[in-house]
Amino acid sequence: MRKKIVAGNWKMNCDITQTYELLDQLKEKELSDDVEVIVAPPFTNLQSANQALLDTDILVAAQNMHQVANGAFTGEISAGMLQSVGVSTVILGHSERRAMFWETNELLASKVNTALENDMTVIFCFGEELEDRKSDNHFNVVKEQLEEGLYHIEAASWSHIVLAYEPVWAIGTGETASPEQAQEMHSFIRRTIADKYSSDIAQEVSILYGGSVKPGNAKEIFGKPDVDGGLIGGASLKADDFAAIVNAFE
């Protein structure tokens, strides 16, 4: 049975005080036992967040990492460094990393390799731009992102992969893909995995939807058969909203 997952991508928000406040509020919420809950604070707060959440089932993820183990890479953080503060999940390929920090599919493929070599779980993000959808090219773009960034991994590594389909036009815009659009793409993604690997792998992998998920639309989106949860940006910064999204599964 594949897992239901709700992950909060805090992006560049929350200093250490705000991190403790938000986590304290979250710890007071009733969160569904059926759902794996993940929060991804900024690098500086990962260790503190991990310690604050030790007595809970909430996992801590990083928002990015470098592909090399160590060396002269000013400003970068390695997989080993994340592991050393107890973080073994990493978000890779977020559209903001792709668009603002020039992360290519090729670079992401090497980050994925490093994460897997270090026994980490990868939340692999991808999704089309508005022009791709308007020109009916969205399936091709998504397929290419997956083929170039991820589909080189061995079948056995899929147990360390979570997918996050995030149409760029829906991120932080208030515009959400309709539940039908999300379902259509998620089922397409599963088909491409089945073609390349096997239908068992395709059925086992969790595929999250991301892009303006809110308490008001989560239930309908998560109700679709191929949507296994969400990657949540803005709404993950409010404990009430994030908890409501975690609890939005039927």
Q: Which residues are catalytic?
A: 94, 166
Choose, by CB under 6 A, the member of 64, 114, 212, 217 that binds ligand PGA. 212
**Of these, 232, 243, 245, 248, which contacts ligand PGA (CB under 6 A)?**
232
H or E element that contains 132: helix 130-134
Smallest distance, ligand PGA to C-beta of residue 127, A: 10
Query: What is the C-alpha separation between 171 and 249, in angstroms, rounded?
Result: 21
In b/e form, how buried is each residue of 72-83, taking b as 16+ CB within 10 angstroms?
eeeeebbbebbe
What is the rounded distance in angstroms from the CA atom of residue 13 to the CA atom of residue 111?
24
Tell me if 228 contacts ligand PGA by CB under 6 A: no
Backbone angles phi, psi at 9, to 5 degrees: -95, 105
Task: Using CB under 6 A, pick the residue from 209, 233, 239, 242 that binds ligand PGA.
Answer: 233
Residue whose C-alpha is closest to residue 59's, from 250, 246, 248, 228: 246
Q: Which stretch binds ligand PGA (CB under 6 A): 18-26, 65-73, 126-134, 226-234?
A: 226-234
Total number of residues that touch ligand PGA (CB under 6 A): 13
Give the residue closest to ligand PGA by C-beta: 233
Distance CA 121, CA 115 (A): 7
CB of residue 110 vs ligand PGA: minimum separation in angstroms?
A: 22
Cβ-based nearer residue to ligand PGA, 63 or 183: 63
Q: Give whichever of 9 and 67 is closer to ligand PGA, judged by the CB atom.
A: 9
Check if the beta carbon of residue 11 is closer than 8 Å to that of residue 63. yes
Residues that bind ligand PGA (CB under 6 A): 9, 166, 171-172, 210-213, 231-235
